[in-house]
Structure 1
Amino acid sequence: MLTLTQDLHDRIVAHARADHPDEACGVVAGPAGSGRPERFVPMLNAARSPTFYEFDSGDLLKLYREMDDRDEEPVIIYHSHTATEAYPSRTDISYANEPGAHYVLVSTADTDGSGPFQFRSFRIVDGEVTEEEVEIVAAYGNVTTQ
């Protein structure tokens, strides 16, 4: 199960809506080994495409160096789908190379930027896709979900 704060959820959705009709992408880093997403890092979709996303290799290298310096790891790797449901495509699956990460997809396919959206999380390990529950909390340590 992915547990994240309402603030992080809202920031991911806002990024997806802001970049529509192109796919948005980014990472939420967290302390290594904690599994807790904390630091929101929106990235530029170097492909600038409505059907594909690609992290800029220089930006990605910089991010991984930052995470290494801060003893962090990618807890969430997210992107949006602008014309299809929030489910990993074959390309998404082939590019999934962080077995410990939660792969979050936001679909803005049925929205003009203000309407409903899909927000789903998956584990992708060795080409196998498993959907997982998403729990949104006000803050970590709280028992109450929203």
Structure 2
Amino acid sequence: MLALAGGVYDDVLAHAREDVPREACGILVGTTDGDAATATVAHRVRNVADAPNVAYEIDPTEQLRVFETAADHDREVVGFYHSHPAGPAAMSDRDRETAAWPGYRYLLVSLAGRPPFVGAWMWTGDDFEREAVTVQN
């Protein structure tokens, strides 16, 4: 399960809306407890994909910085997020081909419907498994 603490949901949704027509992407930092993770901060990162309107690729320099900053503050990276500005509320074939972090959660925001869809998956190394996502106040 992935819990989004405080304003994380609002931050991710705002980022997705601001980056239209590009896919927004970022890194979720927080804590884990067994099979559950709580994201306490959403770090926006630059999408360096060749076709950013239909794909995302996290800037590796920014990714390293977020991992180091999280560790410095006794937190950990619990997952990643990206948006589908007009695409489906499901992980795409490209998302499956480029997923690289088994055991991490991937949060997806689809702006194609009203209200926007937000879902979470765990990357197993072979495929995505759907996870529950909750928003905490």
Give the shorter-chain TM-score range.
Answer: 0.7 to 0.9
**Which blocks of at least 5 consecutive residues in structure 2 are unaligned?**
none
Amino acid of the residue matched to residue 116 of structure 1? Answer: P
Residues 55-77 of structure 1: per-residue CA shift (max 9 Å, x gap)? 11221222222223333322131
Matches within 5 A, 1:119-130: 119-130=118-129
Aligned-pair CA distance for 1:81: 0.8
**Which blocks of at least 5 consecutive residues in structure 1 are unaligned?**
139-146
Instruction: Tell me the matched-pair count.
Output: 133
**Structure 1 52/6 Cα, relative in aligned 2: closer, same or farther at 3 Å?**
same
What is aligned with 1:19?
Answer: 19
What is aligned with 2:39?
Answer: 37
The answer to whether residue 48 in structure 2 is matched with residue 49 in structure 1 is: no
CA–CA distance in 1 between the matches of 2:57 and 2:100?
14
- What secondary structure is seen at the aligned counterpart in 1 of 2:38? coil
CA–CA distance in 2 between the matches of 1:137 and 1:30?
13
What is aligned with 1:28?
Answer: 28
Aligned-pair CA distance for 1:10: 1.0
**Identity fraction in percent:** 33
**Structure 1 53/132 Cα, relative in aligned 2: closer, same or farther at 3 Å?**
same
Amino acid of the residue matched to residue 125 of structure 2? Answer: D
The answer to whether residue 77 in structure 2 is matched with residue 78 in structure 1 is: no
Q: CA RMSD in A?
A: 1.9
Aligned-pair CA distance for 1:6: 5.0
The answer to whether residue 120 in structure 2 is matched with residue 117 in structure 1 is: no
Q: Which of 58, 62, 67 is the matching residue for 1:64?
A: 67
- What secondary structure is seen at the aligned counterpart in 1 of 2:71? helix
CA–CA distance in 2 between the matches of 1:94 and 1:8?
27
TM-score if structure 2 supplies the norm length? 0.85
- Out of 75-84 and 17-26, give the one that drifted further: 75-84
**Structure 1 90/134 Cα, relative in aligned 2: closer, same or farther at 3 Å?**
same
- Does the 8 A contact of 1:94 with 1:127 survive in 2? no
The answer to whether residue 97 in structure 2 is matched with residue 94 in structure 1 is: yes
TM-score if structure 1 supplies the norm length? 0.80
CA–CA distance in 2 between the matches of 1:19 and 1:98?
24
Aligned-pair CA distance for 1:25: 0.2
CA–CA distance in 1 between the matches of 2:75 and 2:47?
22
